[in-house]
Chain A
Amino acid sequence: MKKIIFILLIGSFSLVAYIVPKQMFYTVPKSWPKPKYDFSKNPLTAEKIELGRALFYDPILSIDNTISCTSCHSQFTAFTHVDHPLSHGIEGKMGTRNSPALINLAWHSLYMWDGAINHLDMQSLAPITHPDEMGSTLEGVMRKLQKSPVYRKLFYKAYGDSTITGQYTLQALSQFMLTLVSSNSKYDSVMAKKAKFTLQEENGYKLFQKNCSSCHTEPLFSDYQFKNNGLPVDPLLKDYGRMKLTKNPQDSLKFKVPTLRNIEFSYPYMHDGRFKRLSDVLTHYAMGIQHSNTLAPELQKPVVLNSVEREELIAFLKTLTDKTFLFNPKFSYPKEVLTK
């Protein structure tokens, strides 16, 4: 009998050993659409995610080793920055747009406020090389990484090759960013019937569905389309959004609809960060919309709410906060790797 138990134990251990390497790094939350990212071309592994996480947190990507991705995308603010409307880079230089929150990136088909980037792998190239952001060249970054024993080891662990390439570097950054999935807010618990909205939140949800959800579509809280939401043009920035790229007047003043997940922590708002508070945003949709021929059809009429309704809508938006995302240790600074 003892012998049989022993054999069973051995058997179950080997079963565990067999299952562990097949660990899932990515699961599509229930009832969510299929991700746009093609995982078959860049299959996630623990080592590649770890490498990507180290790169994400390491200022080695900037020309003077002062700025890392997290300088403008910090975890506790849903991977964006707060306190200043426009992002800044090396030597205190200012960019022209508000850094977007890095959430659920596998579901985007185009990146940046104007959709200039067509694939998550290529996204990192823009901040690495922009003179007002990290000011590097990809070739320069490769040289620095190749000289680093820490990175040679990390690349070897991830790719079985200590020769560092642009492809490996960009794919590893994607791997880490792809894991930044936020799907565990109170809203999600309510949808899964594991929690209940308060009456105020419930009323806010109804207002949201009536007034906001045609662009901020559930469950991702964006349709990821490009729309003109009626913001007056900033006379200094003169930013006409997607038109700069397509040279098509139909795209004038169009920017990507951002997700509202973790919106409570991802202030300031809009492509140029002009609004500090959610109440400023609601005021814009009530009385600030500028009409022009590219204005989103959904915003032809202002969204006017009374003061009680405004409180209700904001209470609902706060149910999109996901503390398990904002404080997930898997997404934080990899001190065990970078402080060696």
Chain B
Amino acid sequence: MFSVSSLFSQTVTVNPVFGNSNLQLDHWYKLKSGDSVKIETLSFYISGIELLNNGTSVWKEKNSFHLIEASQSNAIKIPSGIKYDHIKFNLGIDSITNVSGAMGGDLDPTKGMYWTWQSGYINLKLEGKSNLCATKKNEFQFHLGGYQNPFNSLQTIELSVKENQRIKIVLDMEKVFAQLNLSKQNHVMMPCKEAMIAAKNIAKLFSVQ
């Protein structure tokens, strides 16, 4: 008899980092440009986790929706004893789930990741302050989402991984801020072209450590 824990003995962690260290919320960081930035909120959805071997799907997680919050540790169980060379997942929530009514668990609308005035999940929420923002209290706010064309911001990410290891996926916020042009754009709050571009750029910055 196998126990569930032995079948699913490996874990994938998804964590935001800043450069070489774990990300701390409410901490002032210096950017390479000399400007400073503080992240107060960072939450995003990872969904549809899948393992691939030679381009073929070998395992798909059922009900695969994970809210990743910078303030909490995030470990996702995956099965052992399967050969794989890539991991694939979405950054955000697919369109079918977006139109399927009230959900529970990580998808519960009380998680603060659902727009109230226009239906749809916020795929990624990033809020904080920077001297680059000529805004009230130097605030920036990115609520990136949108499930309908022409503003579908869902991103698919595929990363090469080695078997039989603890897979550690990171999102380097230092690189994210190097991409975002905070002095020009610091408020994206609805499905739009700017949200799609930002989501696309951020998706490229996930990597395996």
Contact = CB atoms under 8 A, between A and B. Distances in A.
Interface of A: 38, 41-42, 116-122, 125-126, 128-130, 138-139, 142, 165-168, 170-171, 174, 245, 247
Contacts of B98: 118
Nearest to A129: B116
B102 A126 contact: no
Contacts of A117: 118-119
B116 A165 contact: no
Given A119-B99, A170-B102, A247-B192, 20 more contacts: A38-B101, A41-B101, A116-B117, A118-B99, A119-B101, A119-B102, A121-B102, A122-B102, A122-B114, A128-B116, A129-B116, A138-B110, A142-B110, A166-B102, A166-B108, A166-B109, A166-B111, A167-B108, A167-B109, A170-B109
B81 interface: no
B118 A167 contact: no
19 contacts: A41-B101, A116-B118, A118-B99, A118-B120, A119-B99, A119-B119, A122-B102, A122-B114, A125-B116, A129-B117, A130-B116, A130-B117, A138-B116, A142-B110, A166-B108, A167-B109, A170-B102, A171-B101, A174-B101
A171 B117 CA distance: 18
A138 B101 contact: no
**Those 5 A-B pairs whose CB atoms lie nearest each other, nearest first:** A121-B101, A166-B110, A121-B102, A170-B102, A118-B119
A118 B109 CA distance: 14
Interface in B55-111: 98-104, 107-111
Interface of B: 98-104, 107-112, 114, 116-120, 192
A142 B111 CA distance: 11
A38 B96 CA distance: 13
Contacts of B104: 165, 167-168
A43 to B, nearest CB: 13
A167 B119 contact: no
A165 B110 contact: yes
Contacts of B112: 139
Task: Label chain B's interface by main secondary structure.
Answer: loop
A139 B110 contact: yes
Contacts of B103: 167
Given A142-B110, A170-B109, A122 B101 contact: yes
A170 B116 CA distance: 12
Contacts of B102: 42, 119, 121-122, 166-167, 170-171, 174
Contacts of B111: 166
A245 B101 contact: no
Nearest to A128: B116
Contacts of B99: 118-119
A125 B119 CA distance: 9
A122 B110 contact: no
A188 to B, nearest CB: 29
A121 B110 CA distance: 13
Nearest to B111: A166
Given A116-B119, A122-B119, A165 B101 contact: no
A171 B102 CA distance: 6
Given A38-B101, A119-B100, A171-B102, A125 B118 contact: no
B100 A41 contact: yes
Residue in B107, B109, B114, B120 whose Cβ sees the most chain A Cβ within 10 Å: B109
Contacts of A119: 99-102, 119
Nearest to A141: B110
Given A142-B110, A166-B109, A120 B118 contact: no
Nearest to A119: B101
A126 B114 CA distance: 11
Given A118-B119, A122-B109, A167-B109, A42 B114 contact: no
A279 B202 CA distance: 56
Contacts of B116: 125-126, 128-130, 138
Given A138-B110, A167-B109, A170-B109, A120 B101 contact: yes
